[in-house]
Structure 1
């Protein structure tokens, strides 16, 4: 059995699995490294994987960032390991889902699975095999982790209750620790044998990868809507190959992708820790373009061919007629499509004209003028479009102050802290008097913490 995750040449042997974990900081510089126990667990897991496989010499069983040498390009090594490993093992703990680095690792790996599915390789087995370092309450799990539906009790009740940290630290649970590590190794090997995940992009800039974990709190929402033609209503000189009976079946990246683009996009957005509402812009426009503050950020996937129809043009004109920067516009474009190549200049000019009000970033995200020419370009652009939509949404969304009477804000007064004219021992100030220049800074109220 090879330790490689797919075809292609590599400068290094690929790790069989990638261990993603949150570093625990020291309380005192003289303390022992608190991540010592994670390293021991990693070595034990590697030993079992080596015994359960026929990995050739030089092929590492696993990867963890502690293996990197001083001075080694850590971003390049992480990108390479995430692009080539066969299985991703997130080590759950309360710190894990608060770690931006762990979130980046999760998203970088999960993107490979989404691309694999879009190329017609749906699998019933997830290449992500979670492990418990410390049990985490279900309500603290972000959407990507919650959707895994992994039964931790299958590795033992003690493991599900205590996690690997409890098992490795408590002497009387030593047997249960050995059993749980062995069963995890078997699960990793079985998943690797049953899946053929293609390589990722080892040249991706690691720090530009978004985190799969959103902020703590209620689940975030995102509208993903598509404006496209259907096979029953096509413009002149447009073939039906990229279309279905409904607009949401539009697939501009055929034959590289066999999946409707809106489904591919929705899966990527879910991996950014959003609950996604998928729809067609013709039906969604009444809600998404309603006056007033937005109810959710949005992502619009726009087919340039749809702008040659009167109704499609009217819908985008409505979008751009008012300030709605919380709806990001993405424009997929496949230059290898012969119909599109023949009319590329004309359709690009139409799109540029319609989207002209969005020239500035403050007006909302839009794809570059040439469009997104490949599925890979679409994948790279989507996190930026989502981030822009979320940022503008937060700036424009309706706020809900707490119920009940408000209390006065404390103010810095010449005599110290107080609450304005009612502060004891201070004379009331006339409301028609303007403070002097030297007093303005002192009279500015503090902002209350939310």
Structure 2
């Protein structure tokens, strides 16, 4: 039994390995280990040390062999769901290898061990096909967890809601580890072609800055002129993507014009409409190495359909993104239309209004005229691309309480 347990990590922590500090990952690992140690204090069975690559791999060790052995022998797997997780080829391989072991147990015994335990570390736009059959939402963890993920709870409330959820997770791990023994997969090689999982391979992902997404926040003919006797308007159309603030100079909508400019520069471009999922779309674009450009109609920024999403964007610093708010001829000078324009955009982007005045190319570009749009778009994309290259992943966060030691 001692030999068997020494080869069976109590859990394997599967996560996307970003560049930069992993202090929060290590903190969660330590807290979960400590909770498990407390739960098992009254048992005498040896405790297989949980596996975290940055702590478990030894200097000089073959990293693929070490990871493969751990995934093939661990009792449970805790998967930290993030947008990056589902874009990681290697995370997909870890996920598939353990899911195959669970499937073997079900086929042989009919038992569902539920030993692959998903944790919503950060909000995810969607779980890819092939992994979406695994339930990851948990009402016992509360609305804050479902909305923001466990990582933010660790930062904002490490001694409260975060701690309660870690205790519940420890109970899940304990039940799966003690009541079921997943068949061991000896000789597992995560780098083998047949080990590929349901997530995209590295060759499928774009190089940072080579793809762009245009996100449009604009009114339609119906929402801009709901009571007009003549619903036709040169600025608006049937969809937000039809918006054309520079109709006197360009016949095509602004999003189409921007897309053509970027495609001429060699970028692959897609167009979407801003929604209440804007933050998740921006996180996904960043994880995929895509530059994000918001094209915002000033008057639409005050509409309920866009207001909350744009205000949230104003509060967050999304690497690899820039917002452009065009200004028609009626928005210049000292006219009442001009004053209304500036009051509206100031209300939509109050923080960037205040902080961007001294920057040569701030996160939000206001008052953009037709003659300046083309050159500004290229400059904005270049800046956003540079942000993608320099982004270091997780920010270092000052810990309010020290992590508890892991069990040995």
| TM score, norm. by length of structure 2 | 0.45
The structure with the largest alpha-carbon Rg is: 1
Which gives a bigger RCO, structure 1 or 2 (Cα 8 Å, sep 6+)?
2
